Structure 1
Amino acid sequence: MYVCTNRKRTAFTLVELLVVIAIIGILVGLLLPAVQQAREAARRMQCSNRLKQTALALHNYESSYGRMPPGCVGTTIFSQPQYPTGPDSGKFHSRLGWITLLLPYIEQGPMADMIANHNPNGELPLYWNGASGGIETLFCPSDPGAGKTEYLRAVGPVDVRESTFSNYVGCQGSTGTMVGTDVTGSRLDGIFIPRHGTKFRDITDGTSNTLMLSEILLPENNTSSSNIGNASDWRGLVWNVFGPTVLFSTRNPPNTRSADRMVRCSNPQRTPCVVTGTSSSQYLHARSMHPGGIQGALADGSVRFIAETISTTTYRHFGSRNDGNVLEPF
């Protein structure tokens, strides 16, 4: 006589295990984009706050001096201070960007004092002790290149130097050129002009209709190149503004596929660049890792998101301080 007994199972069957794994995979697949979006939202908010701090610092600077800081200081922006001849021979303060003048207003007073008291005996401004390291408030946390502190001074063998970079750059206007002799803004129609400080009264289009700051990406250096021009990427370089390193143009919309033009730049796919030595044809485009556009600070101190779908015409008007055009909604 056989007696039937119920036996408890102690394990999943293979089919059940596969079903559970599939369900977990689906849930993870649904959850990861939400987590990534939440993280990007937090990074974007932090980026907005840093842009806001920089914009307010510029307002404080203007209140102190009656004008905005010049895009860069010095007799010219292309002569080499360490050369034995030329208008900037031996002058340390020749190619310092506008961010340098803003240091006391972004809680970097000691660094500003180091610059003011520096006597480099003809060194370029990016060689001085104390130039290395990053200023956290100048970096966008969404950019993988944020925190960059190295550039290349020579190639073969590569001479790696420490310096300071910034994701946040000033608007030079819509013309898309970096004219070394333009000290009045006759060719550059933005707020930041080489060796000339714009006043708020010069912004006749209105401070709430004029773009003042935005962001660029900081590409990595190309150490495999044998040419210094496309090996070291100086976009965002603070101390040695060899061209528009801390200035951008609104000639093309945000995140454009059009290449930047610089004296020193590598050429990664996400930040294309053409090396040029012509001072009248250098410009950077605003770019970011924020999906769909960039963030910009207006001359009134507010920060807003600018979609990459903005029309070229509207964006150019936005970058000009005095073209007299009315902005279309965007």
Structure 2
Amino acid sequence: MRNQARRVAFTLVELLVVIAIIGVLVGLLLPAVQAAREAARRMSCSNNFKQIGLGLHNYHSAYNKLPQQRHGTWNTTYGNWPMNYSDDINYLQLNFLVGILPFVEQQALHEQIVNPNGLNSDGSTRTPPWNPLGPTVDGHDNYAPWVTEVGTFRCPSDPGRGAPGYGRTNYGACLGDSYNMPNGDWFWWDHNTTAIDGGWPSAQGCGRGAFVGRKQTAFRDILDGLSNTIACGELTTDLGDKDTRTVPVEQGQGGAVQLADNPLSCREGLDPLRPQFWAPGLQTAAEGQPGQGSRWARGMQWSSAFAINSGVYTILPPNSETCQELPASQWAGPFADRVNAPVSSRHQGGAHVLMSDGAVKFITDSIEAGNSSAAPVNPWSRQGVQSPYGVWGALGTKANKETIEADLF
């Protein structure tokens, strides 16, 4: 009777063995779970890009043009070189994402922007109301649309949130394979449109991408074929950790070579122990700017047309370093003459691009990119040449007779 009444239980050794086995199984399964989650995030990112592609095509169907990269309002009484923020106009700072808002189910946000807006971001009343198309993007956190986070414009794999970029984006317009004028930010500030439209015909030879600053392009301009030309590229937003992909340093700190002559002019500034980060002691563009200038980093303002915020170039391969040309004697922050802003992402091994036909492709970091140290096309010395950046550069040009015959994707 006593033996039958004895309670059956695990010994301490048996319990420890079971716990150890469970721990081993969790350790084996956790990477697989994380990989599955990243795969889901990557698919969601691709779907967002497809929505943007549909938005571009629907916009083109409505207007026979692509939305313009760098558009908005201007008042000539402010002069050619506006260096201050404005409550009244936006100095043509708006990008293509603003244009496609009604075509990506963001009609309400679009209405807030294109109409007089009497509300501040905190819900208080503004008198007089904000003008249509709003103020300058930079420096106006009290204008609600500029700090609104649009889910379609964000990649789920990017953890960037909050200050200093309250309304971020992970998708930028492809500006081609040259950061020289007219894609350079300095040229964009000049309101003299004849410099683009006729005064400098050689400068038009630098606008080789699907999007060109201050000019509205169309599918008919993409002579290489929509399936052979990148329309947009993915970009990574800054986390304040000196990641070379997300924040530039001035080319003078990374090396003596001018960015105008060599896209690798900042490479000497890489940390030799952690090449994805800038070396200790180098000051990034964001660190060199007080207040709002700290947003001089990738993807910090979804509506801003500056290349650092919503532009990509097919010069250096995906996930390469960003670099800006900014001599110490000139203005800082968004007034840099040139910025080399590559495609980048938080996905492993590459980044998404949106082709002009609406297809989304994943481009690996190892794509053939030609001679990365070759000087980009320059309006004063080199126009109408074949892209020196191999297949990658050819994908970024729209009318250079550089079709891609092989299946690279």
TM-score normalised over the length of structure 2:
0.64
Secondary structure of the residue that 1:110 maps to in structure 2? helix
1:230 and 1:220, CA in 2 relative to 1: closer, same or farther beyond 3 A?
Answer: farther
Which residue of structure 2 aligns with residue 26 of structure 1?
24
RMSD of aligned residue pairs (Cα, Å): 3.3
Which residue of structure 2 aligns with residue 60 of structure 1?
58
Question: Which of the two has greater strand per residue?
Answer: 1
Give the conservation status (yes or no) of the 8 Å contact 2:69–2:214. Answer: yes
Give the 5 Å matches for 1:151-190.
151=164, 163-177=166-180, 178-179=183-184, 180-181=187-188, 183=196, 185-190=204-209
Aligned partners of 2:240, 2:79: CA distance in 1, in Å? 30
Which residue of structure 1 aligns with residue 214 of structure 2?
195
AA in 1 matched with 2:47: N
Once the two structures are TM-superposed, the CA of residue 50 in structure 1 deviates from its matched residue by 0.8
**Structure 1 gap segments, 5+ residues each:** 153-162, 264-274
Aligned partners of 1:215, 1:320: CA distance in 2, in Å? 17
TM-score normalised over the length of structure 1:
0.78
Which residue of structure 2 aligns with residue 113 of structure 1?
111
Secondary structure of the residue that 1:193 maps to in structure 2? coil
Once the two structures are TM-superposed, the CA of residue 7 in structure 1 deviates from its matched residue by 9.7
AA in 2 matched with 1:206: G
Aligned partners of 1:27, 1:298: CA distance in 2, in Å? 42
Which residue of structure 2 aligns with residue 290 of structure 1?
347
1:22 and 1:261, CA in 2 relative to 1: closer, same or farther beyond 3 A?
Answer: farther
Aligned partners of 1:114, 1:6: CA distance in 2, in Å? 79
Give the 5 Å matches for 1:1-330.
10-73=8-71, 85-86=79-80, 90-92=88-90, 94-118=92-116, 120=130, 123-126=135-138, 127=140, 128-145=143-160, 148=161, 150-151=163-164, 163-177=166-180, 178-179=183-184, 180-181=187-188, 183=196, 185-221=204-240, 225=287, 227-228=289-290, 231-236=294-299, 237-256=301-320, 258-261=321-324, 279-312=336-369, 313-327=390-404, 328-330=406-408
Aligned partners of 2:294, 2:57: CA distance in 1, in Å? 37
1:235 and 1:65, CA in 2 relative to 1: closer, same or farther beyond 3 A?
Answer: same
Aligned partners of 1:277, 1:140: CA distance in 2, in Å? 24
Once the two structures are TM-superposed, the CA of residue 260 in structure 1 deviates from its matched residue by 4.1
Once the two structures are TM-superposed, the CA of residue 95 in structure 1 deviates from its matched residue by 0.9
Aligned partners of 1:197, 1:282: CA distance in 2, in Å? 21
**Structure 2 gap segments, 5+ residues each:** 117-128, 189-194, 198-203, 242-285, 327-331, 370-389
How many residue pairs get aligned? The number is 298
Which residue of structure 1 aligns with residue 267 of structure 2?
none
1:52 and 1:226, CA in 2 relative to 1: closer, same or farther beyond 3 A?
Answer: closer
Once the two structures are TM-superposed, the CA of residue 225 in structure 1 deviates from its matched residue by 4.9
Aligned partners of 1:220, 1:7: CA distance in 2, in Å? 64
Provide the identity percentage. Answer: 34
Once the two structures are TM-superposed, the CA of residue 151 in structure 1 deviates from its matched residue by 2.8
Secondary structure of the residue that 2:100 maps to in structure 1? helix
